[in-house]
Amino acid sequence: MKALCAVLLLLFAVPCFAADLTGNWAVRDPLPDGTFRTTYLNLHQEDSRISGTIRVTQFCYKIVESTGGPDGFTLTGSMMDGASERRVKYEGKLVGDELHVATRRRADSELTQMVARRAPQGEGALPRRIPLPALHKVADNNLAKTPPMGWNSWNKFRGQVDDGAVRGMADALASNGMKDAGYQYINIDDTWEGSRDASGNITTNKKFPDMKALADYVHSKGLKIGIYSSPGPNTCAGYEGSYGHEEQDARTYAAWGIDYLKYDWCGARNLYSDQEMRAVYQVMGDALLKAGRPVLYSLCQYGRDEVWKWGAEVGGNAWRTTGDIRDAWDSMTTIGFSQDELAPWAAPGHWNDPDMLEIGNGGMTGDEYRTHMSLWSILAAPLLAGNDLRSMTPDILEILTNREIIAVNQDKDGKQGRRITKSGDQEIWARPLSGSAEAVGLFNRSGASAKIAIKWSDLGLKSAPKRARDLWAHSDLKLDGAESEYSVMVPAHGVVMLRVAK
Ligand code: GLA
């Protein structure tokens, strides 16, 4: 087409207005919270081939296949970060000055129709890569001497969290026994963010009219408040990230009274490689210290680049070790039972984080949620409830507030437990506790109840312990001192958790 136009122009001095898809096309989708999601299709049409890029706020794709032209085309984009196989497909046609396009947001969802308009070249392009600083050790902030405990909005509320819900959670946690049991942080996950003002300060969206007032409210309950951001230009849900504004955002958080930051890689993947993560996370570690307010720093990059080996060096108090948890037995156990080898990297102030709790969200049974709570306690994992605290059943509250289990999680020595035996679906994990004691979890991962036996010699004991207590039954075992092991029936997908005094 281009070649033909050039010939026509040369021979007859006739400008050629033939329809062409070449250009930067933008779709601006308003969300109810007052923010926008923008899709940019930056297309280059050459005869029957369409190349270019598609950027859907936080996701960038290179066009790898195309068919058709202005009267009807299809495009396939492949994620540009090299680490993901994710693909998107668009179909559409040129209608006057508009590009009418349609895509499926998920493979199984309906086609979403959109109208794209021409935008200036360069608009919507990824920002330039800011050079990274040399590595150094970020000073310890002396927080999180035991694993953080609290609540986080994501697992239950996703993008539906707002000021009212957060106040409601603070009210519930402060009055239902959770605060007394040690839960302290009320953490707002993704989707609170608005745009940046003329000075580059991050603002909140309509769901959070006044973050400082909300922080004051949470503090008035004797609790602490957490927030979420990304080192990239955008967060996982497509909201404004901290890219290039790290120190400014850290100052804003301090001014609001924020006590905890979850910092999620997501949008940074379009600019930096996994090997550069450490320097990227160091930037915010430094910024938080410089802002002068104690802020617990929680890294979220799904365990890439063996974060447990360097998370503490960049000032991290906790680091996610896996992808996202779901409220399902398979997801919870695949994550929880895969943490054994990470034990050496946990210590007071610096924790492996196998993701937030799903207890009470409805996808698992009581026994399964007891397994979740027990395993996370043996793993010295952060205990961040992820359910609606305003409406949970007494059973769920009892699981979340079992003080004997929480005492294991919060043990001051901060040693993460390990798997000590495995036989088929039955696993025994043990965590050394302060004062010559040990927490022992007898886990039955099978779908039928099973007898599990712990040999005292597996705990390094020559004979039965001085005292052993069942932490879910809240009763001491009756031991006569002569047995070489303790055996017990454990329900399907359930656990018996013991505290053994050596
Ligand atoms: C990622 C994180 C989640 C949550 C979402 C928010 O998926 O791993 O825990 O924070 O982003 O968009």
**DSSP states of 415-471 as a string?**
PPPEEEEEETTEEEEEEEETTTEEEEEEEE-SSS-EEEEEEGGGGT-SS--SEEEET
Q: Closest residue (by CA) to atom 6 of ligand 1?
A: 190
- Tell me the CA–centroid distance for residue 323 and ligand 1, in Å: 9
For the record, the structure tokens of 37 come out as 């999601």
Residue 391: strand pairing partners: none
Predicted pLDDT at 481: 78
- In sequence order, the 6+-apart residues with CB closer than 8 A to the CB of 305 are 274, 275, 277, 278
- Tell me the CA–centroid distance for residue 347 and ligand 1, in Å: 24
Q: Closest residue (by CA) to atom 11 of ligand 1?
A: 236
The answer for 211, left when phi > 0, alpha when psi is -120 to 50, beta otherwise, is alpha
Q: Are the CB atoms for 253 and 295 separated by under 8 Å? A: yes
Q: Are the CB atoms for 416 and 350 separated by under 8 Å? A: no
Pocket of ligand 1 contains residue 190 by CB under 6 Å: yes
Pocket of ligand 1 contains residue 189 by CB under 6 Å: yes
Is-catalytic flag, 324? yes
Pocket of ligand 1 contains residue 398 by CB under 6 Å: no
Which amino acid would we find at residue 435? G
For the record, the structure tokens of 131 come out as 């050079």
Pocket of ligand 1 contains residue 353 by CB under 6 Å: no
Catalytic residue among 163, 190, 259, 264: 264
Pocket of ligand 1 contains residue 264 by CB under 6 Å: yes
R_g over Cα of the chain: 27
Pocket of ligand 1 contains residue 458 by CB under 6 Å: no
Kind and range of the H or E element at 53?
strand 49-56
| 151-189 pLDDT per residue, tens | 999 999 999 999 999 999 999 999 999 999 999 999 999
Predicted pLDDT at 18: 56
CA dihedral sign of residues 7, 11, 13, 14: negative
End-to-end, the C-alpha distance of the chain in Å comes to 83
| pTM given for the model | 0.94
Separate counts of helices (H) and strands (E) for the chain: 11, 26
- Tell me the CA–centroid distance for residue 110 and ligand 1, in Å: 24
Angstrom distance (rounded) from CA 141 to CA 121: 44
Nearest to 45, CA basis, from 115, 88, 85, 99: 99
Q: β-strands 475-476, 467-470: how paired?
A: antiparallel
| 210-259 pLDDT per residue, tens | 999 999 999 999 999 999 999 999 999 999 999 999 999 999 999 999 99
Catalytic residue among 324, 413, 458, 470: 324
Pocket of ligand 1 contains residue 324 by CB under 6 Å: yes
Nearest to 83, CA basis, from 304, 262, 260, 286: 304
List, for the chain, all residue ranges whose pLDDT scores fall below the cut of 70. 1-18
Q: Which atom of ligand 1 is closest in space to residue 300's alpha carbon?
A: 8
Using alpha carbons only, give the angle 75, 77, 82 rounded to the nearest 5 degrees: 165
Angstrom distance (rounded) from CA 119 to CA 377: 53
Which whole-number Å values give the CA distances from 59 to 269, 294, 415, in the listed order? 9, 33, 39
CB atoms within 10 A of CB 423: 10
Q: Which atom of ligand 1 is closest in space to residue 356's alpha carbon?
A: 9
Angstrom distance (rounded) from CA 94 to CA 101: 9
Using alpha carbons only, give the angle 454, 378, 298 rounded to the nearest 5 degrees: 165
Counting Cα atoms < 13 Å in the Cβ hemisphere of 196 gives 16
- In sequence order, the 6+-apart residues with CB closer than 8 A to the CB of 131 are none
Angstrom distance (rounded) from CA 398 to CA 74: 54
Q: Are the CB atoms for 442 and 452 separated by under 8 Å? A: yes
Give 148: exposed, middle or buried? Use CB within 10 Å, 0-12, 13-18, 19+.
Answer: buried
Q: Closest residue (by CA) to atom 3 of ligand 1?
A: 324
Q: Are the CB atoms for 233 and 126 separated by under 8 Å? A: yes
Give the three-class secondary structure for 420.
Answer: strand
Indicate the length of the chain as a whole number: 502
If you ran DSSP here, which 8-state letter would residue 240 be given?
B
Is-catalytic flag, 189? no
